[in-house]
Chain A
Amino acid sequence: MRKNSKLSNLYLVLVFAILYAPIFYLMYYSFNSGGTMREFEGFTLDWYKEVFQDTRLLIIVLNTLIIALLSSAISTIIGVLGALAITYVKRRRTKNTLLTLNNVLIVSPDVIIGASFLILFTMIGIKLGFTSVLLSHIAFSVPIVVIMVLPKLEEMSSSLVDAARDLGASRREVLTKVVLPYITPGIFAGFFMALTYSLDDFAVTFFVTGNGFSTLSVEIYSLARQGISLTINALSTLIFLVTILLVVGYYFITQRNNRVKGVAIRK
């Protein structure tokens, strides 16, 4: 039995090592003065300097952030409205249809989403670039927000709303003072998920971005196709750090979620 657990620990460690190796590999070579990912010649911060001096790259980073923040804010609004709408639909068939349609974009491969949006935008005459990228990011984030908010709404007991109504709250007050505060953790979780999906997306953006507009993923793709450049390594180290911050933030939100759930159960 003892030997068994040692073996299983080894297995887990191995899986973790493989999962993290490429990430640390990138970070390690971002400090290499040699300019390749082969031999480590000496420590340098030159690649980081290059990242911060590259105005074009900084504009792309800014674009990526603006798209991510805007698209997740808008998709959170649409998604919350959608989740409210779905919970208010009483007919089971309609509800299931709505949920199935909601999931279409989640299970669809990125290539299909990208290609179909490309057709859509060309047909309705939206110029490829900022607008088309923003619209498609909103489009694929909405179902994610719905999925994160819906369980919160479903878990909310209807007696809360009834009580508020009995005490004379208007529909508007019920929504802003009872329902929205209750589902706030779900809304935040949805917003964060949408944010990370948007920051991470490559395939869809690649299809709907025009010549002049680029996001980080698309830029990394075109750089990587030209071969190895340690600027990408430096950039990825920075992205990795930001990602960790985001994940920690997300983790705390879900922790708070759990606590709220705990309270609800106790009640």
Chain B
Amino acid sequence: MQTKSRNLYLIPYVLWMVLFVAAPIVLIFYYSLFDIEGNLTLANYAKFFTPVYMQMTLSSFWYAFLITAFSLLIAYPTAYLLTKTKHKQLWLLLIILPTWINLLLKAYAFLGIFGTYGTANNLLAWLGAGRQQILFTDFSFVFVSVYIFIPFMILPIYNSLEEMNPSLIDAARDLGSSQWETFKKVIFPLTISGVKSGCQAVFIPALSLFMITRLIAGNRVITLGTAIEQHFLVTQDWGMGATIAVFLIIAMAIIILLTNNRRRSAR
């Protein structure tokens, strides 16, 4: 009797899972086996291993790596300094606030800032460097992506820094390590879990960005995400799009396995 009514709670939730978690993944695999005419084939997989798609995959990974690396480089000191401020909760809230603003609006703002007569170029002209093409370049793509992902990197690192026992730092200092040594041998290893979940939170979305590539990189940068969008919504070659999605899912699973911590993630 008791277990029966308990199972009642499970019904809508499990129904949701079957329909929106399990079924979509199965369907992606299923569709990857069909070509554009609807014939059952493995041609999509063969096509994925041709140089065109391989190069796209590699460049997608390279950009995601760059974006993650720069985010980490900026976010780690920020998170560290944040833990040192008074009213840290308030500052943290202020860091998170921009993430609540629609991604598209932020990307759109950079259209103005990086435009030919935009603020960045005015600054360059004023400095005597002359106007440059900033929009629609690799630089603007990486810059805007890093801008958007920084808060997602700061948050887990901040959490793991907060969790760290401060007496460990005192101990290291007492035992005579320099500031740099303390950081290298005590602080960084102890916060590695935060760094890992931060990288996970940035790398996976960075692999699959598509609207920033369209708006800011002017189709010069093609990521796996852009390719999927292209195949599904423009060329209508769902089979090939699904195949790329399969590889993206595999890449995602590998990244999660690599960066997952034994304990609960710091997010």
Q: Do these two chains interact?
A: yes
Q: Which residues of A contact B (CB under 8 A)?
A: 8, 11-12, 15-16, 18-23, 25-26, 29, 36-38, 77-79, 81-82, 84-86, 88-89, 98, 101-102, 104-105, 107-120, 123, 135-136, 139, 142, 146, 171, 196, 199-200, 202-203, 206-207, 216-217, 220-221, 224-225, 227-228, 232, 236, 239-240, 243-244, 246-247, 251
Give the docked Cα–Cα distance between A23 and B91 (Å).
Answer: 17
Q: Which of B40-48, B49-57, B99-107, B168-176 contacts A (4 or more CB under 8 A)?
A: B99-107
- With A11-B77, A25-B119 as given contacts, are A247 and B24 in contact (CB-CB < 8 Å)? no
**Across the interface, do A202 and B13 meet the contact criterion of CB distance under 8 Å?**
no
**Across the interface, do A11 and B112 meet the contact criterion of CB distance under 8 Å?**
no
Query: With an 8 A cutoff between CB atoms, is B221 at the interface?
Result: no
**Across the interface, do B252 and A116 meet the contact criterion of CB distance under 8 Å?**
no
Chain A residues with CB under 8 Å of B6's CB are 85, 88
**Across the interface, do B211 and A101 meet the contact criterion of CB distance under 8 Å?**
no
**Across the interface, do B112 and A25 meet the contact criterion of CB distance under 8 Å?**
yes
**Across the interface, do B110 and A22 meet the contact criterion of CB distance under 8 Å?**
yes
What would 29 A/B residue contacts be, using CB atoms closer than 8 Å? A19-B147, A20-B98, A22-B106, A22-B110, A23-B98, A25-B119, A26-B112, A38-B117, A79-B13, A81-B9, A81-B10, A82-B9, A82-B13, A105-B20, A107-B204, A112-B28, A112-B208, A112-B245, A112-B252, A136-B20, A202-B103, A206-B229, A207-B229, A217-B103, A224-B111, A225-B214, A239-B101, A240-B101, A247-B97
Give the docked Cα–Cα distance between A73 and B41 (Å).
Answer: 43
- With A19-B150, A22-B113, A82-B13 as given contacts, are A203 and B20 in contact (CB-CB < 8 Å)? no
**Across the interface, do A200 and B12 meet the contact criterion of CB distance under 8 Å?**
no
Chain A residues with CB under 8 Å of B224's CB are 111
Which residue of chain B is the closest to A84 with respect to CB atoms?
A: B9
**Across the interface, do B16 and A82 meet the contact criterion of CB distance under 8 Å?**
yes
- With A12-B82, A112-B249 as given contacts, are A104 and B21 in contact (CB-CB < 8 Å)? yes
**Across the interface, do B208 and A239 meet the contact criterion of CB distance under 8 Å?**
no
Other-chain contact of B16, A15, A115, A142 (Cβ < 8 Å)? A142
Q: Which residues of B contact A (CB under 8 A)?
A: 5-7, 9-10, 12-14, 16-17, 19-25, 27-28, 31, 74, 77-78, 81-82, 84-85, 91, 93-95, 97-98, 100-113, 115, 117-119, 147, 150-151, 200, 204-205, 207-208, 210-211, 214-215, 224-225, 228-229, 232-233, 238, 241-242, 245, 248-249, 252, 256
Chain A residues with CB under 8 Å of B97's CB are 243-244, 247
Give the docked Cα–Cα distance between A82 and B19 (Å).
Answer: 14
Other-chain contact of A236, B17, B21, B108, B238 (Cβ < 8 Å)? B108
Give the docked Cα–Cα distance between A206 and B208 (Å).
Answer: 14
- Give A157 Cβ to nearest chain B Cβ, in Å: 19
Count chain A CB atoms within 10 A of each CB in B9, B74, B210 and give the residue with the most. Answer: B9
Chain A residues with CB under 8 Å of B225's CB are 109, 111
Q: What are the 7 tightest A-B residue pairs by CB atom distance, in nearest-first order?
A: A37-B112, A116-B24, A82-B13, A109-B208, A22-B109, A139-B20, A85-B9
**Across the interface, do A200 and B103 meet the contact criterion of CB distance under 8 Å?**
yes
- With A19-B151, A37-B118, A112-B248 as given contacts, are A119 and B242 in contact (CB-CB < 8 Å)? yes
- Give A242 Cβ to nearest chain B Cβ, in Å: 10
**Across the interface, do A228 and B12 meet the contact criterion of CB distance under 8 Å?**
no
Other-chain contact of B104, A16, A116, A224 (Cβ < 8 Å)? A224
Question: Could you list 14 further interchain pairs (A-B, Cβ under 8 angstroms) beyond the known A22-B110, A84-B9, A228-B115?
Answer: A12-B81, A37-B113, A37-B115, A38-B112, A101-B21, A105-B20, A109-B208, A112-B28, A115-B228, A116-B25, A119-B27, A119-B31, A120-B19, A202-B102
Which residue of chain A is the closest to B26 with respect to CB atoms?
A: A116
Which residue of chain B is the closest to A116 with respect to CB atoms?
A: B24
**Across the interface, do B5 and A171 meet the contact criterion of CB distance under 8 Å?**
yes
- With A15-B74, A82-B13, A196-B100 as given contacts, are A8 and B84 in contact (CB-CB < 8 Å)? yes
Count chain B CB atoms within 10 A of each CB in A15, A79, A139 and give the residue with the most. Answer: A15
Chain A residues with CB under 8 Å of B200's CB are 107
Count chain B CB atoms within 10 A of each CB in A86, A107, A216, A240 and give the residue with the most. Answer: A107
Give the docked Cα–Cα distance between A52 and B151 (Å).
Answer: 33
- Give A216 Cβ to nearest chain B Cβ, in Å: 7
Chain A residues with CB under 8 Å of B119's CB are 25
Which residue of chain B is the closest to A221 with respect to CB atoms?
A: B104
